[in-house]
């Protein structure tokens, strides 16, 4: 049985999906240029991609040159593709006066100034005698006229890059930080500081180690871009479709099958995708129409896809871009971050899965018919080779090699799986080149014997791919798409470097941290009487201070996250929130994960929830209702951070140590809490549930999240009337269950 279905379930074309992605993915909408200029930009994008690919495998130039070249590519492509002001006509082709290939001369001049500012640092690093420029060491903190000119230009232009690709929100936040640095004496109370001199500020923002040429741009230019490129190549060569087919086989025949396919396929796809909007459009194009056909309301179908896709930012092993930056901030191996993220990501998907299942039970929806499911044998017979690049990447990554070396190997194997075929000997050149590289690394001591054998075997297996070969032209298009995907995150990383520079220069993070904990402590002291019964105290002031501080920081993450990419938001918030969380005694990895999770929650929190709006466009549903559905479906992601702050054992690798019994007990308690919350959201567990019982289950679910036996007993007592009612109702009225 399926509910009455009157909504449009027409599947969208490739062009319509591309338009949806352009509308809701900040960096997807680009200006039209003339064919000649388009060819020039294609060469720039391919050069940009090939440069990063080759330096990842062979050797990185000095940081200031590497980041300078990365910025050059960003300036040329962003100023060519993104208009000064976004209007309905600004993306159309216009070859009028004062334009070059459809690009206004103003943008061309800004592009040239940006490239000059990016390259000046490397050119003047050792000094330029005939211009009277001393070596960099003598100019630190005491910039000359050229440093001031190019430094000011770079600060303004990276803010403009962020504005053009991501909108006004991020640049405005950064401008507040800049004002704070320069106008310190005018700020009130604890925020007041002597102020930073203008030339000192420009020097701090422009010279390496902090500011624009700091850790964020370094991570994006050496690691993040490569993983974005790998994800795009792997998807285009067939890995994305393999994920969807396997998800359909795994979950399609069960209650509410297509919705569960959406959850599983988005979890799979999230392992290689760093963009929740791209994830939504890629998997939602198939899953949302299927859910609507089955009988799910359009807003719920869109919400399922948005909530599951936003989880891609926290799904190991890729986890979007933020995980790499987290590894740099914490000075931990990337693999440690991946291991820590396993259970919190699982908790998120348990929540989405539970709501989907209960909603399907409530609506009486069945799974897909057996004949509608893909055949496991046929799927793997055709697509097995597409797994080889992902396995190769993970083996290299978890064997202790650098993330960029693992990305190089993953991209190389993806190129072989896509373009080399044993039946076409000339195409084996790609496999031969990579095998030669592996042997060269082995001879030089870069790879051990076992790693070399695994990679050579992977390259040989990939040439046996039975799928149609990807042509050089098609792979060039894929590289170009990968570069365009990386422009927005590159612009954000350069601009957010300014925030880190300001925080390091002024110490504002510790000031705000102290203010948050002080406010929470005062509020906790005012509210403690609510939890005192004579001499018995349910919570201490310290307990309340910690909880209120976490709520304050979580709300700040969600509010500031409106329209800001997860990576940029994480960098800003962790710089400000980390001192507050550290003062509360929270282990560093738990505090970083806490901030990242609530930054991702902003992706599905109305009123600005880009993933949900993209899903709503595919589902032809109300965007705001879709956003509300996505938020309620993402409750696992909302409560997970609270759980692992109170029980760091859930992260496996916390400094507090790992205890198997404590982990098992706490994990079970958290899962029960998420299921209780899910039943409250849907209004169904074993049978339909009344409003009063839904409130009891919601409160019990929140109490379950607190990791203690006392809390679990309290939660069971609170939930027991609802549980008893559900059991009786199911027994007496099995037809409604």
Give me the DSSP letters along 587-613: -HHHHHHHHHHHHHHGGGSTTS-HHHH
Distant-in-sequence, close-in-space partners of 321: CB < 8 Å, separation ≥ 6: 219, 220, 224, 227, 228, 274, 489, 493, 566, 567
Cα–Cα dist 254/264, whole Å:
13
CB 628 within 8 A of CB 662: no
User: What angle do helix axes 508-527 and 472-506 make, rounded to 10 degrees?
Assistant: 70
What is the length of the chain?
Answer: 737
In a domain, 124, yes or no: yes
Cα–Cα dist 73/78, whole Å:
8
Q: How many domains does the chain have?
A: 2
DSSP state of 128: B
Distant-in-sequence, close-in-space partners of 610: CB < 8 Å, separation ≥ 6: 24, 25, 26, 276, 277, 563, 603
Give the residue, 118 or 173, on which the prediction is more confident.
118
Three-state DSSP state, 688:
strand
Torsion from C-alpha of 62, 65, 70, 71, nearest 10 degrees = 140
In a domain, 686, yes or no: yes
Pair of tokens at residue 100: 């070059």
Pair of tokens at residue 389: 């690049």
Q: Average pLDDT, stretch 589-614? A: 80
Cα–Cα dist 535/414, whole Å:
66
What is the predicted pLDDT for the residue at 16?
A: 66
Q: At 103, phi and psi to the nearest 5?
A: -100, 125
Q: Average pLDDT, stretch 611-633? A: 83
Q: To which residue do tokens 């936040």 refer?
A: 173
Cα–Cα dist 137/135, whole Å:
6
Cα–Cα dist 513/430, whole Å:
53
In the predicted structure, residue 319 carries a pLDDT above the cut 90: no
Question: Is residue 536 within a helix (H) or strand (E), and if so which, with residue range?
Answer: strand 536-537
What is the predicted pLDDT for the residue at 17?
A: 65
What is the predicted pLDDT for the residue at 272?
A: 63
Band (5; pLDDT cuts 50, 70, 90): very low
Give strand pairing partners of 536. 533
Cα–Cα dist 518/506, whole Å:
20
Picking from 184, 217, 250, the residue at the C-terminal end of a domain is 217
What is the predicted pLDDT for the residue at 415?
A: 94
Q: At 533, phi and psi to the nearest 5?
A: -130, 90
Q: Average pLDDT, stretch 379-390? A: 88
CB 680 within 8 A of CB 698: yes
Picking from 217, 244, 275, the residue at the C-terminal end of a domain is 217
Q: Average pLDDT, stretch 542-566? A: 78
CB 548 within 8 A of CB 523: yes
In the predicted structure, residue 725 carries a pLDDT above the cut 50: yes
Mean pLDDT of the chain: 83
In a domain, 468, yes or no: no
In a domain, 520, yes or no: no
Q: Which domain holds residue 201?
A: 21-217
What is the predicted pLDDT for the residue at 410?
A: 93
What is the predicted pLDDT for the residue at 7?
A: 45
Cα–Cα dist 477/38, whole Å:
12
Three-state DSSP state, 297:
coil
Select the highest-mean-pLDDT range: 142-156, 181-195, 202-216, 273-287.
Answer: 142-156
Distant-in-sequence, close-in-space partners of 722: CB < 8 Å, separation ≥ 6: 685, 689, 693, 694, 696, 697, 700
Cα–Cα dist 633/416, whole Å:
39
In a domain, 592, yes or no: no
Q: At 29, phi and psi to the nearest 5?
A: -85, 120
Give the residue, 175 or 373, on which the prediction is more confident.
175
> Between the CA of residue 411 and those of 229, 459, 490, 548, 724, what are the distances in Å?
8, 11, 20, 45, 55
Pair of tokens at residue 146: 């050229």
How far from the centroid of its chain's Cα atoms is residue 475's Cα? 25
The 3-state secondary structure of 440-466 reads: HHHHCCCCCHHHHHHHHHHHHHHCCCC
Beta strands in 370-434 (DSSP E): none
Q: To which residue do tokens 């069945």 refer?
A: 366
DSSP state of 191: G
In a domain, 596, yes or no: no
Give the residue, 370 or 523, on which the prediction is more confident.
523
What is the predicted pLDDT for the residue at 154?
A: 95
What is the predicted pLDDT for the residue at 389?
A: 92
Cα–Cα dist 3/23, whole Å:
31
- pLDDT tens per residue across span 12-61: 666 666 666 666 555 566 788 899 999 999 999 999 999 999 999 998 99
CB count within 10 Å of CB 665 equals 17
- pLDDT tens per residue across span 174-211: 999 999 999 988 888 788 888 889 988 998 888 777 78
CB 501 within 8 A of CB 210: yes
Pair of tokens at residue 243: 């994920």
Picking from 172, 200, 217, the residue at the C-terminal end of a domain is 217
Percentage of the chain beyond pLDDT 90 is 20
Three-state DSSP state, 533:
strand
CB count within 10 Å of CB 130 equals 5
Distant-in-sequence, close-in-space partners of 187: CB < 8 Å, separation ≥ 6: 180, 193
What is the predicted pLDDT for the residue at 657?
A: 66
Cα–Cα dist 719/698, whole Å:
9
In a domain, 628, yes or no: no
In a domain, 727, yes or no: yes
Q: Average pLDDT, stretch 681-686? A: 86
Burial label, 137 (beta-carbon count in 10 A; 0-12, 13-18, 19+): exposed
Is the peptide bond between 200 and the residue preceding it cis, with omega within 30 degrees of 0? no
Residue closest to 62 by CA, chosen among 205, 200, 209: 209
Band (376; pLDDT cuts 50, 70, 90): confident
CA angle 28, 29, 32 (to 5 degrees): 130
Q: To which residue do tokens 């392992």 refer?
A: 271
Residue closest to 696 by CA, chosen among 683, 710, 711, 709: 683
Give the residue, 237 or 724, on which the prediction is more confident.
724
Distant-in-sequence, close-in-space partners of 37: CB < 8 Å, separation ≥ 6: 80, 100, 101, 102, 103
CB 611 within 8 A of CB 603: yes
CB 357 within 8 A of CB 256: yes
């Amino acid at each position: 049985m399926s509910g009455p279905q009157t909504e449009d379930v027409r599947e969208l074309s490739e062009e319509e999906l591309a338009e949806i992605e352009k509308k809701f993915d900040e960096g997807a909408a680009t200006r039209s240029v003339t064919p000649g200029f388009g060819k020039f930009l294609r060469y720039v994008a391919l050069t940009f991609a090939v440069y990063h690919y080759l330096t990842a495998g062979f050797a990185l130039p000095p940081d200031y040159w590497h980041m300078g070249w990365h910025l050059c590519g960003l300036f040329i492509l962003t100023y060519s593709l993104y208009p000064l002001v976004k209007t309905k006509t600004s993306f159309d082709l216009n070859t009028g006066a004062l334009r070059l290939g459809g690009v206004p001369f103003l943008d061309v001049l800004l592009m040239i100034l940006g490239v000059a500012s990016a390259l000046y640092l490397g050119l003047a690093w050792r000094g330029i005698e005939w211009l009277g420029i001393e070596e960099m060491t003598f100019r630190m903190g005491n910039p000359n006229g050229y440093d001031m000119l190019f430094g000011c230009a770079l600060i303004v232009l990276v803010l403009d890059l962020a504005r053009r690709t991501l909108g006004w929100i991020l640049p405005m936040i950064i401008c507040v930080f800049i004002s704070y640095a320069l106008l310190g004496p005018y700020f009130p109370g604890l925020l007041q500081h002597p102020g930073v001199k203008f030339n000192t500020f420009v020097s701090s923002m422009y010279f390496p180690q902090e500011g624009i040429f700091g850790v964020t741009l370094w991570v994006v230019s050496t690691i993040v871009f490569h993983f974005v490129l790998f994800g795009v190549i792997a998807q285009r060569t067939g890995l994305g479709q393999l994920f969807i087919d396997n998800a359909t086989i795994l979950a399609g025949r069960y209650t509410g099958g297509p919705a569960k396919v959406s959850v599983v396929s988005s979890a799979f796809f999230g392992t290689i995708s760093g963009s929740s909007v791209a994830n939504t459009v890629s998997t939602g194009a198939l899953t949302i129409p299927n859910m609507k056909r089955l009988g799910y309301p359009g807003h719920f179908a869109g919400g399922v896809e948005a909530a599951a896709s936003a989880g891609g930012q926290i799904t190991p092993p890729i986890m979007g871009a933020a995980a790499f930056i987290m590894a740099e901030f914490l000075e931990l191996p990337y693999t440690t971050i991946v291991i820590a993220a396993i259970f919190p990501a699982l908790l998120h998907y348990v929540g989405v899965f539970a709501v989907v299942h209960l909603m399907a039970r409530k609506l009486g929806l069945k799974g897909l018919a057996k004949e509608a499911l893909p055949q496991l044998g046929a799927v793997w017979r055709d697509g097995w080779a597409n797994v080889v690049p992902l396995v190769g990447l993970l083996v290299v990554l978890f064997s202790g090699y650098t993330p960029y070396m693992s990305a190089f190997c993953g991209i190389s194997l993806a190129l072989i799986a896509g373009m080399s075929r044993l039946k076409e000997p000339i195409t084996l050149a790609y496999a031969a080149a990579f095998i030669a590289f592996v042997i060269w690394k082995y001879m030089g001591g870069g790879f051990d014997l076992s790693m070399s054998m695994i990679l050579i075997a992977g390259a040989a297996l990939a040439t046996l791919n039975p799928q149609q070969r990807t042509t050089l032209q098609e792979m060039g298009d894929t590289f170009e798409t990968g570069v365009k995907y990386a422009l927005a995150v590159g612009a954000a990383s350069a601009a957010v470097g300014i925030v880190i520079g300001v925080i390091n220069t002024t110490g504002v993070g510790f000031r705000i941290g102290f203010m948050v904990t002080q406010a929470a402590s005062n509020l906790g002291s005012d509210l403690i009487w609510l939890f005192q019964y004579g001499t018995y105290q349910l919570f201490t002031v310290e307990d309340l201070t910690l909880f209120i501080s976490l709520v304050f920081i979580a709300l700040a993450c969600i509010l500031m996250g409106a329209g800001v990419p997860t990576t940029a938001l994480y960098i800003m918030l962790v710089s400000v929130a980390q001192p507050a969380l550290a003062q509360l005694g929270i282990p560093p990895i738990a505090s970083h994960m806490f901030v990242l999770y609530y930054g991702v929650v902003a992706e599905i929190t109305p009123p600005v929830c880009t993933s949900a709006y993209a899903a709503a466009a595919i589902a032809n549903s109300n965007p705001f209702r879709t956003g509300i559905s996505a938020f309620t479906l993402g409750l696992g992601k909302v409560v997970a951070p609270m759980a692992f702050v109170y029980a760091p054992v859930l992260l496996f690798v916390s400094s507090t140590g790992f205890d198997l019994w404590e982990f098992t007990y706490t994990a079970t308690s958290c899962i029960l809490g998420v299921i209780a919350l899910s039943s409250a959201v849907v209004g169904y567990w074993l049978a339909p549930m009344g409003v009063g019982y839904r409130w009891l289950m919601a409160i019990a679910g929140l109490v379950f999240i607190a990791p203690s036996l006392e809390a679990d007993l309290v939660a069971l007592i609170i939930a027991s009337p609802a549980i008893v009612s559900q059991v009786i109702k199911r027994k007496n009225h099995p037809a409604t269950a």
